[in-house]
Chain A
Amino acid sequence: MSKHHLDYLDELEAEAIYILREVAGQFEKPALLFSGGKDSITLVRLAEKAFRPGKFPFPLVHIDTGHNFPETIRYRDDMVARLGEKLIIGHVQDSIDQGKVVEQKGKNASRNALQTVTLLDTIAANGFDACIGGARRDEEKARAKERIFSVRDEFGQWDPKRQRPELWNLYNGKIHKGENVRVFPISNWTELDVWNYIRRENIALPSIYFAHERDTIVRNGQLMAAAEFLNMDEEDVITRRNVRFRTVGDMTCTAAVESDAFLIDDIINEISASKISERGARMDDKVSEAAMEDRKKGGYF
């Protein structure tokens, strides 16, 4: 036995590439769910490693709520142009126009819950049998038990009782017609791993991840970007602040944090400081905030 060990990022990367190639080998019509956030951007990079110089064996699918940050949409379109891969967009507005979902009203209205319907319709319309997503097990308790290959019934539902044992690196992707599998190649990555990988691979991100000056308002104790779909009124005081976003979602429900982290190193330091403090030291409140901020939108996965 010699002692060659892969560094942790190399190991996580190799595992994710392996999983992506399993999807390619096992499914007829896979898709990669792309949100414009750092996790799905990481997946795209991994797909390049898995399949280049060939084409991706799947299209990218974006469920567009219509409330995205313009920076995210710009990033998405630039990226697709650079990759030369196919992008399929499912519009929540279409679901609203078709009367399948109803727009929420009031100050805290968001299209968060509506996108699940659009996603399921998009899956059905295209006949996707596997959807690759960027969810991670460290995000929350329920996710800690999620499989790498997670079978969904024809209603897109996850049934914990139907979870298959997942042994070694043997992923069972056998499904009946109408079912599909959600696949999570970066299950074993932590938030910090993703950031370290982005830094190592020098991957460009939407600019809103970094500190910038913008008009903000305070809603329910949280900083929000001032935007037309926030149903603003005279109570909302607009202030210029230096902020960044820890996660990329809708402008209606993605809170900003005041930050001077202009560079990726600053961001990594910010996260490291709140996640790994001295042994035995008490955790500060930053951690809870970071975890909250970084929550993926429920229902999307």
Chain B
Amino acid sequence: MKTLVVYPNKELLYAASTLGGEITALVFSQKEAEALAGKAHRILVAEIDPKSPDAVAEAVIKAFPGHDLVMLPSTKNARTVGGLIAQRLGAEFLTDVLSLRAEGGVIKAERYVFGNKAVATVEAQLPAVVSIALGRFQGEPPTVQSIVERVEEVAIAPKVKILSVEEKPRGAVKLEEAEIIVSVGRGFKKKEDLQMAFELAKVLGGQVGCSRPIAADLKWLPEEHWVGLSGKKVKPKLYLAIGISGQPQHIAGILDSRIIAAINNDPSAPIFQNADYGVVEDLYKIVPILINKISKLKAK
């Protein structure tokens, strides 16, 4: 097995190492190559703009001969690169895989499908392309001898030109790493009322998350708070959903939470089917009580 890892990070290199064989890492600057020394058998440097899926796809196509598998992270640009190269290689592209193994020229992977209501076991012939679901492959890649080479003459006239880049406003929110998340949904009537959730999160020592409408439609919170299929996928020990109905896209983002608790005044809200503990109650009545009781508890 010879795996070409694009946009390499620790998780990808570890995932690639579980398949055995040789690992090539494709990077986009000399600096990146130096940081990766000892972590891949070959390090290929293509000096192109990593932000351009066009250009990255060209570099991958150029570097691919002699490899069996391309491995990518599950980012939007990597997914675009994966689609482009898979079609050109006539290969399957297995996205967001949860597990991975190779036997006799075939790659086998599991992934969530059908709104995360089922797990598919998918098989594809090598060569193939895979992207790795975030946080699923935890381990240390073994230390190896690295050779650094350059990829020459990548056709670098991307058809899509980047005119400007604007960073999204980022606060101190790191939902992916949070142990406790208090998440808010349409059950809150005004933006100001979210203050209650922030207070509750504070007494619990957690962060505030939200469902899609709060971030995308109402824009009451920046998108970094958004939990779900198109937002963040989280894995806290406690996910407390307040006033969230529990659309499948939201549930998809919280599957890996250890305990899910939900507060909603509608007893038929789908969130209750996906929760360990559900409280049928008006959030405006119960949240202040929770803040009060929990802060007393913590003060002890």
Do the two shown chains form a genuine complex with each other? no
A-binding residues in B (CB < 8 A): none
